[in-house]
Structure 1
Amino acid sequence: MVGFPLLLVPLAVYNIIAFLMPGVSFTDPLIRLTLLSGEQWQITLSDMLLAAGVLLLLLEVIKGARPGAKYLTDHLLSLIVFGAAAAEFVLWPKFGNSTYCLLTLLALVDFISGIALRTRRRAVVAPAAPAPSVSKSQPEAPQPAPVAQPTPRPEPAPVAAPAPAAPPPAPPVPSATSVAESVLLDQSAPKPTVTSPDLQPGGQPPSDAPQR
């Protein structure tokens, strides 16, 4: 039932009544209903065909809104139904009335709504189409790992180098005068004489020394 134009049903019923039942009138009331207000509502055959056409048009729109529905053949069949109904309305005297004109207009709405729904579906699906998959024969290049940027650290303030310690004072150099005086004092001091016990006073050896 997806590719079948549902609006063909009321149009076909009208054709059957117009060609096969020439004595049936579309304006004679078939049903009389009494409303709560007390008024009688007279329903004719044309009213029933128009009501059926509106309900079938609603089903056609619901079918066209489903994913995958309303292919090119569906639009082509809707266009053929509208073209045939418009040709009968213009060319045949039995179809030149308001009832058949409204049925033809419903067929036109069916065709235009199908085209509009298909165009909108293409506009919505095209941006969301997935990217083409890479063939398995070509290995995917490894994605480089993200390099973490080092956070800048505050540089420490430069520390002043300690001042060099002052060298110890050099010992005072003795003057030349003091050096000369010390030399003279050393020379003038008496040197002690060493006496041998073998010598007697006067520088002679003792008497008991053996004669040579």
Structure 2
Amino acid sequence: MYLVGFPLLLIPLALYNIIAFLFGLGFGDTVFTVPMMSGATLSVSTGDLLIILSILLLFVEILKATRFGVKSIVDHLLSFVVFVVALGEFLMVQQAATSTFLLFLVICAIDVVGGFSISIRAAARDYTVDGTHPIAH
């Protein structure tokens, strides 16, 4: 079941702000470590977890982009609003001037550009008359 009209990348944006403003944690703080077979220890930070969550949600957003219809357009517009808000926060808020937020901003941009381009291709593919493709003419 898809969440229609809800930009999923709003979740990591909200989590970032909660972590940065309410808890005051650093995004480089280690949350847990994983011993590797090589003998090395992998340290996973708060920022790493936020980016992992963002990438997983980006995958779901790209799946949602394959739908066609008015609800899909609204979903894309809301994703664009999340990107604009994140860009504004990145440029104007001191706590957002981190590499974690920059990576999140790139993920939001991929969501917007990828979502619109996939939807346009899906719409062009779905719009055929008598087996001919009207855009190809």
* TM tier relative to shorter chain: 0.7 to 0.9
Deviation at 1:21, TM superposition (A): 1.3
Residue 71 of structure 1 deviates from its aligned partner by: 2.2
Question: Equivalent residue for 1:193?
Answer: none
Give the aligned residue type for 1:12. Answer: A
Alignment of 1:30 with 2:31, yes or no, is yes
Amino acid at match of 2:64: K
SS in 1 for 2:51: helix
Q: Residue 68 of structure 1: CA displacement?
A: 4.4
Letter of the 1:116 counterpart: S
Instruction: State the match for 2:55 in structure 1.
Output: 54
Let me know the Cα RMSD of the aligned residues.
Answer: 1.8
Alignment of 1:13-162 (within 5 A): 13-22=15-24, 24-68=25-69, 71-126=72-127, 128-129=128-129
Q: Which has the larger radius of gyration?
A: 1
Unaligned runs of 5+ in 2: 131-137
Flag the 1:2–1:72 CA change in 2: closer, same or farther, 3 A: same
Matched residues in 2 for 1:14 and 1:118: separation?
28
**Among 2, 5, 19, which residue is 1:3 paired with?**
5
Which structure 1 residue ranges, 4+ long, deviate > 3 Å from structure 2?
Answer: 66-70
Superposition deviation, residue 115 in structure 1: 0.8
Letter in 2 for 1:83: V
**Displacement after TM superposition at 1:5 (Å):** 0.6
Paired residues of 1:7 and 1:56 also in contact (CA < 8 A):
yes
Report the secondary structure of 2:65's partner residue: helix
Corresponding residue SS for 1:25: coil
Q: Deviation at 1:67?
A: 4.8
Amino acid paired to 1:3: G
> What displacement does 1:3 show?
1.2
Q: 2:64, 2:72 → 1: CA distance?
A: 11
Q: SS at the partner of 2:11?
A: helix
Shift of 1:30: 1.1
Shift of 1:79: 0.7
Name the CA distance, whole Å, in 2 between partners of 1:50 and 1:35: 21
Shift of 1:69: 7.7
Where do 1:167-182 residues align within 5 Å? none
Number of residue equivalences: 129
